[in-house]
Structure formats: C-alpha cells, structure tokens
Amino acid sequence: MEIGWIGLGNMGLPMARNAIKAGHHLMVYNRTRERAQELKPLGAKIANTPAEAASAGTVVTMLSDDQAIEDVVLGPGKVLNALGAGGVHVCMSTISVSLAKRLAESHGAQGQTYISCPVFGRPEAAESKRLLAIPAGRRDAIERVQPLFDSIASATHFIGEDPAVANVVKLSGNFLIASVLESLAEAFALIRKYGVNAKEYLELMTGSLFNAPVYKGYGALIAEGKYEPVGFRMVLGLKDAGLVLAAAGAAAVPMPIASLVRDRFLTGVARGMQDADWSSIARLVAENAGLK
C-alpha cells in the first residue's frame, strides 16, 4: 500500500517501521524531522508537510492529542484539503469522542472516509508487533486497509460502523488500566507496610487470582520500582482520564473511580512528574503511606 504516515513518537515510529518492513510504501512526516530521517534507510520518503503526506491517498495519523490532530488535519492546507475525494484517513491516536465525530463529518463532506483505529499496547508491544487494533468505520474501507493493520498489530477487532465507537472503547480500556494501576499501587503500599515481600506478593497474586498481562506487567514495574523506560507519560494518562470523564458526562454516566484516578494523575503532574511513566503514581501512593 501507498501510505502517508504522520506522527513518529514512541508509538508511531516502531509502528511505521513495521509497516515498511511488511512491504508498504510510506511517505512520513514528523514535526521533528530527525525522527522521520530514521526511516529513510528503510525506504521511506520524507514529506515536508502533512498535506504532502496525505497526497498518498491513504493517511495515518498517530499523534498525542486532540490539538495535534486538529492542527494537521483540519487546518488550512492540511490533510483534509490535500487528501482528495476517495481518500482514507486512519486515525490511530487516542482522541476525544467529540473530535472523532467531527473528523468523520468533515471527511464525509469532502467525499473521504474516516476510520478511527486506536491501538492497545506500550512501545515495546509496538516494536514486536503485539498491538491490538480496534478499528471502527465503513467495513469496506477497513477491509481495504486491513493489510496495514496486519503489519503493525497481532490482532484486529472490528468495533462497528461509527468511528467514534472505537474511541469510546479505547478510552474505557485506558480507564480500566488506570484503575488497575491505582489498585496495584494501594495494595503494594499496604503489604509493604506489613513487611510482605513485594515480589513474592506479585507472584502469588498474578499466579492465581489476577493471571492477566496488565497485572503481571504493571505489577512488576511497581514491585520493582522500575518506571523506566517510560512507555506512557503521566500527562497523557491525565489527558485520557479527562477524555473519559468528558465522554461519560456527555452520556450521563457517573464514573467516580475515573474521577479518583484523574486526581491521582493531576497530583503527579502538579509535582513535576508529567513525563514519568503513568505507573509511577505508585510512588505517590507509597509516599502517602510513609514509604520511600
């Protein structure tokens, strides 16, 4: 496939690299050009603007937040105007439900197709092609770009015809992960105060009651106090918690735990931890319990 790729951060770069290795032809754009240059030896072409990347006819955006997407897609002379009738925009970013709806409407008015396809997985999963892709949009368009999803993810789960539904699922999933982080942080603080070995506790819990990747992976980070390399920054966790609450408010769904984890992330950001891994909220919980 001929693909324009916009966004080469901690997730976007390994995803784009895997797409190239699978045989897709990428024209890449990144605000920091040096990141794009890393893919040139693999055969990627470097776009000077988002609009140039969109000229491929199928464009992927993998950016950090709503504002970044709006800037490259909806601004004058950007992706929306350059994509052309019949073009496809696949947004793999974690964005608000309201922006996903706006993008679908804007692309539709231009005779284009919009697909929301956020992914679950940390950068190491992106490197090893172990992401879960959850596309939503026109089924025929998703089938058209399925080879792309196959090149970057180990599994694809079609969510529905309404693109915004994929963002609801992604935000709800991130909420569940954040809730697990808070629960793990509190549980580890409690057992440490009573002198229980954290690693032994982790093996007991994840080998029986909580035998799941999210408990094993994040539990190990907390038990070992190993929060680097950073996979998902705390400020992005705060952003997603806010988006969850916005979606919940729009649908009149009370989510008190979401409010709790949002405040935990907000505390971390206020203490200068915005670029720390979001699992390091466990440090805050430990400090509140008088632990180091």
What does the alpha-carbon distance between residue 124 and residue 131 come to, in Å, rounded to a whole number? 9
What pLDDT sits at residue 88? 98
* Cβ-based neighbour number of residue 252 at 10 Å: 6
Q: pLDDT (tens digit, 9 = 90+) per residue, 148-182?
A: 999 999 999 999 999 999 999 999 999 999 999 99
List residues with catalytic annotation: 170
- Domains of the chain are 2-161 (3.40.50.720), 166-288 (1.10.1040.10)
Asked whether residue 75 carries a pLDDT value surpassing 90, the answer given is no
State the amino acid at position 111 in one-letter form: G
What percent of the residues of the chain are helix, what percent strand, and what percent coil, each to the nearest 5? Answer: 55, 15, 30
Largest CA distance in the chain: 64
Q: pLDDT (tens digit, 9 = 90+) per residue, 192-247?
A: 999 999 999 999 999 999 999 999 999 999 999 999 999 999 999 999 999 999 99
* pTM over the 0.85 mark: yes
What pLDDT sits at residue 76? 80
What pLDDT sits at residue 166? 98
CA distances for 282 relative to 2, 4, 21, 228, 244, angstroms: 43, 39, 38, 13, 21
Contact yes or no for 197/224 (Cβ under 8 A): no
What does the alpha-carbon distance between residue 20 and residue 24 come to, in Å, rounded to a whole number? 5
CA distances for 34 relative to 8, 29, 31, 55, 230, angstroms: 10, 10, 9, 21, 20
Q: How many helices (H) and strands (E) does the chain have?
A: 14, 9
State the amino acid at position 66 in one-letter form: D
Q: pLDDT tier at 91 (50, 70, 90 boundaries)?
A: very high
Q: In terms of DSSP bridges, do strands 131-133 and 119-120 run parallel, antiparallel, or are they unpaired?
A: antiparallel
